[in-house]
């Protein structure tokens, strides 16, 4: 195989992998400030960015060299996070794509056409199926008796939905049903024109279960990760975990406190990490910053001690990722000593950031970060915190963002697309909306 053909095939594989949002997590090497143990465990770091550069520089001479680097990412991920972790399950999805694409490159053109047809879903798959059994006839009046029988059998055994048939023939329901009744004495009037039964593969159920065992994120969150519909995801969830009837409580939000610009207000808090691996023996502390308007987790860090030195250093590390004009105008915290101590206050003063400490009996003022901790606690292993932050920011849709976008949106998209705070343009008034 020539170098140019190999390069083209490898680029196609990476493009296919890039279609999965989770691939961005493995694009770059981990931040040493956030994952301090990574580089003490991993001797030969590898990521997709390095692989892409090697493809561009013609460093791969065969497929085996390419797969070795993929295997290296897999091995490194297993070493750091564990072979049962949510992180390794996410990489497994990408590894499967790589393997399938390599297998496809080894097939003949005829075999590729067959496999591509098998991958079709929904209406496209139904069209292919109908075209096959009806010998590519698109007019119901051209069908002979044997083709009519095949069509009717497919309807009765739920191989295909009536909706797909109406679209295939471009006719109304009454036209098709009257044609069958008047010409062949076949009455299908009692059949419903709805979805055909959902065929759920054992492989998909297993993948759903594996993710749920690592992170109890609910069917919507896991559906986002697997890129399947909410209906599909709920069906799988109900198979694995039959629903129990719960009495719904009405939630009334009579207090509102939020920014109207990105990077105007960040919330910060510290959360205990205990009673789960790897922190069974000693409690650790997770500090995180969240942008109020977009709901994006700006930064997180894990430390051994809940001190003002830890909080101040985390703030410094966080701000080092931004230009000075991207700093928030205000950071909101509770009244803990780690936030009211001199170190944290001096770091804020040096960066010209206003410090707002929430008022007693007004928890909604720091609710954005408090509501994020349950997402972390749904993890079975705290080593998966880095990837759950990525999933939350880049894959999960946030219901509160529906107020600003027509479609469901992730915090990362909101952070990039919503208006940014500019003190010269906006001033400091009317940026916070508060309704007591």
The predicted-structure confidence for 235-264, as pLDDT tens digits, reads as follows: 999 999 988 776 666 655 555 567 889 999
Q: Is the pLDDT of residue 123 over 60?
A: no
CA distance 173 to 356: 63
Closest CA to 330 of 365, 377, 373, 279: 365
278, 383 Cβ separation under 8 angstroms: yes
Q: Give residue 102's pLDDT.
A: 87
Take residue 427 and report the two structure tokens written for it: 């001033």
CA 428 vs CA 132, 259, 433: distances in Å: 66, 11, 12
CA 379 to chain centre: 15
Q: Give residue 436's pLDDT.
A: 45
The predicted-structure confidence for 313-361, as pLDDT tens digits, reads as follows: 999 999 999 999 999 999 999 999 999 999 999 999 999 999 999 988 7
Q: Residue-wise over 309-340: b if at least 16 C-beta within 10 A, else e? A: ebbbbbbeebbeeeeeeebbbbbbbbeeebbe
76, 45 Cβ separation under 8 angstroms: yes
Helix/strand/coil (H, E, C) string of the chain? CCHHHHHHHHHHHHHHHHCCHHHHHHCCCCCCCCCCCHHHHCCCCCCHHHHHHHHHCCCCCCHHHHHHHHHHHHHHHHHHHCCCCHHHHHHHHHHHHHHHHHHHHCCCHHHHHHHHHHCCCHHHHHHHHHHHHCCCCCCHHHCCHHHHHHHHHHHHCCCCCHHHHHHHHCCCHHHHHHHHHHHHCCCCCCCCCCCCCCCCCHHHHHHHHHHHHHECCHHHHHHHHHCCCHHHHHHHHHHHCCCCCCCCCCCCCCCEEEECCECCEEEEEEEEECCCCCCCCCCEEEEEEEECCCCCEEEEEEECCCCHHHHHHHHHHHHCCCCHHHCCCEEEECCCHHHHCHHHHHHHHHCCCEEEECCCCCHHHHHHHHCCHHHHHCECCHHHHHHHHHHHHHCCCCHHHHHCCCCCCCHHHHHHHCCECCHHHHCCCCCEEEEC
CA distance 1 to 360: 70
For residue 127, name the pLDDT band (cuts at 50, 70, 90). confident
For residue 109, name the pLDDT band (cuts at 50, 70, 90). very low
The predicted-structure confidence for 57-76, as pLDDT tens digits, reads as follows: 999 999 999 999 999 999 99
CA 246 to chain centre: 28
Q: Is 217 exposed, middle or buried (0-12, 13-18, 19+ CB in 10 A)?
A: buried
Residues above pLDDT 70, as percent of the chain: 88
The predicted-structure confidence for 179-232, as pLDDT tens digits, reads as follows: 888 888 888 766 655 555 567 888 899 999 999 999 998 899 999 999 888 888
Question: Against a cut of 0.85, is the pTM above it?
Answer: no
């Amino acid at each position: 195989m020539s170098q140019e053909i190999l390069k083209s095939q490898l680029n196609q594989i990476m493009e296919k992998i890039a279609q999965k949002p989770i691939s961005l997590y493995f694009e770059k090497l981990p931040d040493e400030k956030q994952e301090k143990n990574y580089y003490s465990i991993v001797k030969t770091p590898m990521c997709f960015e390095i692989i892409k550069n090697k493809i561009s520089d013609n460093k791969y001479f065969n497929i085996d060299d390419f797969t070795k680097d993929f295997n290296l990412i897999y091995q490194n991920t297993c070493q750091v996070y564990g072979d049962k972790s949510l992180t390794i399950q996410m990489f497994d999805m990408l590894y499967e794509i790589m393997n399938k694409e390599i297998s496809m490159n080894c097939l003949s053109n005829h075999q590729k056409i067959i496999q591509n047809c098998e991958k079709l879903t929904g209406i496209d798959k139904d069209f292919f199926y109908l075209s096959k059994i009806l010998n590519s006839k698109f007019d119901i009046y051209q069908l002979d008796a044997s083709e009519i029988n095949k069509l009717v059998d497919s309807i009765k055994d739920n191989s295909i939905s009536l909706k797909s048939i109406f679209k295939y023939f471009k006719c109304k329901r009454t036209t098709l049903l009257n044609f069958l009744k008047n010409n062949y004495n076949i009455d299908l009037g009692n059949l419903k024109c709805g979805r055909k039964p959902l065929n759920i593969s054992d492989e998909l159920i297993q993948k759903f279960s594996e993710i749920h065992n690592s992170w109890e994120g609910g069917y919507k969150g896991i559906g986002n990760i697997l890129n399947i519909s909410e209906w599909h995801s709920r069906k799988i969830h109900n198979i694995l975990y039959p629903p129990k009837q719960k009495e719904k409580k009405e939630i009334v939000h009579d207090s509102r406190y939020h920014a109207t610009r990105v990077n105007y207000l960040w919330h910060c808090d510290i959360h205990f990490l205990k009673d789960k691996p790897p922190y069974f023996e000693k409690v650790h502390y997770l500090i995180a910053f969240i942008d109020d308007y977009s709901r994006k987790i700006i930064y997180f860090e894990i430390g051994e001690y809940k001190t003002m030195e830890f909080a101040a250093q985390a703030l410094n590390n966080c701000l080092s990722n931004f230009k000075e004009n991207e700093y928030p105008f205000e950071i909101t915290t509770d009244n803990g000593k780690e936030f009211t101590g001199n170190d944290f206050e001096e770091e804020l003063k040096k960066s010209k950031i206003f410090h707002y400490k929430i008022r007693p009996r007004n928890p909604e003022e720091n609710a954005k970060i408090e509501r994020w901790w349950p997402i972390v606690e749904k993890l079975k292993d705290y080593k998966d915190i880095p990837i759950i932050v990525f999933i939350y920011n880049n894959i999960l849709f946030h219901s509160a963002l529906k107020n600003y976008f027509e479609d469901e949106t992730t915090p990362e998209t909101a952070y990039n697309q919503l208006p940014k705070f500019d003190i010269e343009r906006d001033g400091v008034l009317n940026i916070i909306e508060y309704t007591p």
